[in-house]
């Protein structure tokens, strides 16, 4: 299977939630630590950030607050605790691109990421299958 990478996405503190994103034409950079994620913003080309509001080493949205102060142009999704209006209001006041709760279903999560990155109507090569005379047929999938 061949997928053309269209964006580099840094996920922070999402544990297994980011596995759903592997179907999108993106390169995932996954971190659990806010400190390591902050360092990777300096060393990696990052097109978007998806982060949990409370990280083990940076609570109260500190990673997102720091990141938005330094790189406000990067599309960002904040994951907040379901039902925690204080976290949701604080995340929205930062100007993030989207706020999702930790109980958001996988389909909505992937759809939100695709919309924010502008991947909704892009075609990617999903697979190349052999056909007669050793030629290959490209199958295009529109997302």
pLDDT per residue as tens digits for the range 44-66: 999 999 999 999 999 999 999 99
Name the β-bridge partners of 128: 138
Torsion of Cα atoms, 123 then 112 then 52 then 70, to 10°: 70
**What are the phi and psi torsion angles at 108 (to 5°)?**
-65, -40
pLDDT per residue as tens digits for the range 108-118: 999 999 999 88
The 3-state DSSP composition of the chain as helix, strand, coil percent (nearest 5) reads 35, 30, 35
**What are the phi and psi torsion angles at 135 (to 5°)?**
-95, 165
The angle that helices 34-43 and 62-70 make with each other, rounded to 10 degrees, is 20
Please state which architecture CATH assigns to domain 7-142.
Answer: 3-Layer(aba) Sandwich (3.40)
Residue ranges per structural domain of the chain: 7-142
pLDDT computed for residue 17 by the predictor? 84
d(CA 8, CA 116): 13
Mean pLDDT calculated for residue range 31-40: 94
- The answer to pTM > 0.75 is yes
């Amino acid at each position: 299977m061949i997928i053309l990478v269209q964006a580099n996405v840094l996920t922070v503190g999402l544990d297994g939630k980011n596995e759903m994103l592997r179907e999108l034409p993106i390169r995932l950079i996954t971190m659990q630590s806010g400190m390591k994620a902050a360092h990777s913003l300096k060393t990696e080309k990052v097109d978007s950030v998806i982060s949990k509001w409370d990280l083990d080493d940076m609570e109260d949205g500190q990673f997102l607050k720091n990141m938005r102060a330094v790189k406000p142009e990067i599309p960002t999704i904040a994951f907040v605790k379901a039902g925690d209006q204080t976290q949701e209001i604080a995340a929205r006041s930062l100007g993030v691109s989207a706020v999702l709760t930790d109980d958001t279903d996988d389909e909505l999560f992937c759809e939100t990421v695709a919309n924010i990155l502008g991947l909704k109507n892009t075609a990617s090569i999903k697979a190349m299958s052999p056909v007669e005379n050793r030629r290959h047929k490209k199958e295009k999938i529109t997302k």
